[in-house]
Structure 1
């Protein structure tokens, strides 16, 4: 199974132990999943923003706004390995501190340009035991979501400094 490259999130669903299906980030979640050739991965998932936060100081955001933004975001990265029927993600970095150092095992089905990842064991989400299913579509060169507001440059000039990096 060749999962290397970039993937765009198409759907994120949780199913409770009673069979209720929920979309924790709504009908139009955003996300990128990257698998590198040298064995690392990064997952970034977010709910569409519900309010514009007009702040340029990412560490000076008021607590309530920072908490609301984090509640609609999932992020983690680390090494990965393919295993029979799935993928293991070993988390070196995670937005949720309880995931640091854990192994997240995902069932994986690759069909053409589509990748379906599923949690292998239930977890607790908003007070209920759930399993998750995430549907990804292989990203194409310079593909972008329909909510982007500007064209990405094909290449940054060498003298451009990106603020905050």
Structure 2
């Protein structure tokens, strides 16, 4: 399904975080990502049961832009617990299927469910 800005808006709860064959945040990661109508986003991810030992949480926020033609989200991070996220826009391939948002990079796939 194509991704539109209006379909993206709101809150999404993290269901899975896969890095290759690994699940560094465990089988039940916790997280929330928000997209606002005025172009702001915020994401918080926390390890759940079975997470890799010492796995820190991740939090970042900033402006976002969606290229609807390519379904690529551009996260322009302005504050982050991971300094490397500040170095350049974070690009995410986006797909929405009903109440499921999938964000992916070359390395990771994150699955989110619309928060009600």
Task: Give TM-score scaled by structure 2 length.
Answer: 0.85
Which structure has greater strand proportion?
A: 2
2:89 corresponds in structure 1 to 103
Structure showing greater relative contact order (alpha-carbon pairs closer than 8 Å, 6 or more residues apart): 2
Q: Is the 8 A contact 2:101 2:114 kept in 1?
A: yes
- Counterpart selection for 1:92 from 62, 69, 78: 78
Q: State how far apart, in whole Å, the 2-side matches of 1:138 and 1:14 are.
A: 22
The answer for unaligned runs of 5 or more in structure 1 is 16-20, 51-67, 122-130, 141-165
Task: Give TM-score scaled by structure 1 length.
Answer: 0.61
Q: Is the 8 A contact 1:7 1:137 kept in 2?
A: yes
1:1-40 correspondence to structure 2 within 5 Å: 1=4, 2-15=7-20, 21-40=21-40
Task: Work out which of the two has the higher radius of gyration on C-alpha atoms and give 1 or 2.
Answer: 1
Q: 1:36 to 1:48 in 2, by over 3 A?
A: same
Tell me how large the CA RMSD over aligned residues is: 1.5
2:102 corresponds in structure 1 to 116
Task: Count residues in correspondence.
Answer: 106
